[in-house]
A and B are shown apart, each in its own frame.
Chain A
Amino acid sequence: MSAAARPAPVSPVVIHPLVVRVTHWLNAVAIVCLVMSGWKIYNASPLFGFSFPGWATLGGWLGGAIAWHLAAMWLLIANGLVYLAYGLAGRHFMRSFLPIGPREVWQDLKEALFFRLFHKLGAYNAVQRLLYVVVVLLVVAAAVSGFGLWKPVQFQGLVGLLGGYEFVRRIHFVAMAGIVGFTVIHLALVAIVPSTLWAMITGRARVEISAEEAAP
């Protein structure tokens, strides 16, 4: 039977390794807890002229919110370290996130905005790569500024470097806002391409195999 007679070869392949899936979902839990409890903490002394609605917060009162925040912190750290170690040592970052060139980002962004960019399961376009790298850096920024706020005396070198306690509060807020902004876009894209959700759960997707990949 000739290959031309068959439909395009399709095979379920693992596009998200187990480590990535587990750390993704643990991270999602940690981030949701941290953001919602963080909003409650913010409300105790709002930095800007608004408060977060109570229904969107976690902890019930300031003490409860801090208890959640400083518990979820450990989940974020432990899980984040596993993810970063895997990503750096296992070449996951290099394979999935690089290269990110301004030209590719601009090209893919234009196509995405006009809904001409097609999502290929298992491969990230340049905009995705950029967003994923940025959100990893935002989480690192939130964690580092968070350490500064938690221990402004013990980590006073860090706090001084970042502009002082009051400025670090703002860094922490901006990092949170960036993470929430990413999450909104991320969830919107998952809603547009729901198969990505299934892929992040099972790790598998039916990917069309290109000619050279199908070749023995």
Chain B
Amino acid sequence: MNPISNKVLAPELRRLKRRLLLRSGLSLGALTMLTGCNLTDGDAVDRALWAVSRFNDRVQAWLFDPNRLAPTYPASEITDPFPFNAYYPEDNAPEVDGDTWKLEVSGLVEDRTPWTLARLRAMPQASQITRHICIEGWSAVGEWSGVPFRSVLERIGADTRARYVGFKCADRYYSSIDMATALHPQTILATDFRGAPLPDKYGFPVKLRVPTKLGFKNPKHIVALFVTNEYPGGWWEDQGYNWFSGS
């Protein structure tokens, strides 16, 4: 298990990779297959792959059952130590000051008052022991507690007919999810891991815990959220990870 090896990438490289989703991957078999077709232009195949990925978003939205809960586990099955994962090494995890931290709120909402940690902790809490599944294939069981995200959306008067909720993070990571998933009962703004405040490496002070999506759709160190109808993308999503990435 090597969660970070291929996640440390220079921005230029990322842009290049996005453009060359395919071409950089041309190998013996791909060349063999493409010989004789007109699809020798990597950009054309790239566009096809992006189009299928958007199609897969729609299929997954259709498969997503807003009432189906992710399996939960007994405390004895919690993975210890729980793996660290980010696009940077663990030493580079941001150190956020919980006392001055604010959660900015914007977009299609009625109340844009920023949230403090105290206000989040004063809300009704929920806890879950669920499996975090990484896009790399590995999985780990963890215990997260915090505020059901639905109640935050209700409290800020979010337009729940909007399509997306986007997140911006202290580590410049960003991501977004569909509204149906945002309203799912197990989607929580987690402030605790295993009964204690989130350590820096797991996303202090707040991470979004979404057990119905892959790990990279669970942004950490969140500093802003917004409700929108314009596709917000994400740090990995813009490079080619499938956007919906539902479990």
A166 and B240: CB pair below 8 A?
no
B24 and A55: CB pair below 8 A?
no
A70-B63 contact in complex given A56-B28, A154-B68, C-beta closer than 8 Å: no
CB distance from A186 to the nearest CB of B (A): 16
B71 and A61: CB pair below 8 A?
no
CB distance from A63 to the nearest CB of B (A): 4
Interface string of A23-54 (1 = CB under 8 A from B): 00000010011001000111011010000001
Q: Which residues of A contact B68 (CB under 8 A)?
A: 153-154, 156
Chain B interface size range? 35 or more
B49 and A71: CB pair below 8 A?
yes
B53 and A67: CB pair below 8 A?
yes
The stretch from B127-135, B146-154, B155-163, B224-232 touching chain A is B127-135
Question: How many A residues, CB 8 Å from partner?
Answer: 37
Q: Is A90 an interface residue (CB 8 A)?
A: no
A62-B136 contact in complex given A154-B64, A154-B68, C-beta closer than 8 Å: yes
CA distance A162 to B203 in the complex (A): 33
A33 and B33: CB pair below 8 A?
yes
Q: Is A152 an interface residue (CB 8 A)?
A: yes
CA distance A47 to B63 in the complex (A): 28
A61-B27 contact in complex given A29-B33, A154-B63, A154-B65, C-beta closer than 8 Å: no
Q: Is B106 an interface residue (CB 8 A)?
A: no
Q: Which residues of B contact A56 (CB under 8 A)?
A: 27-29
Q: Which of A51-87 contact B (CB under 8 A)?
A: 54-68, 70-71, 74
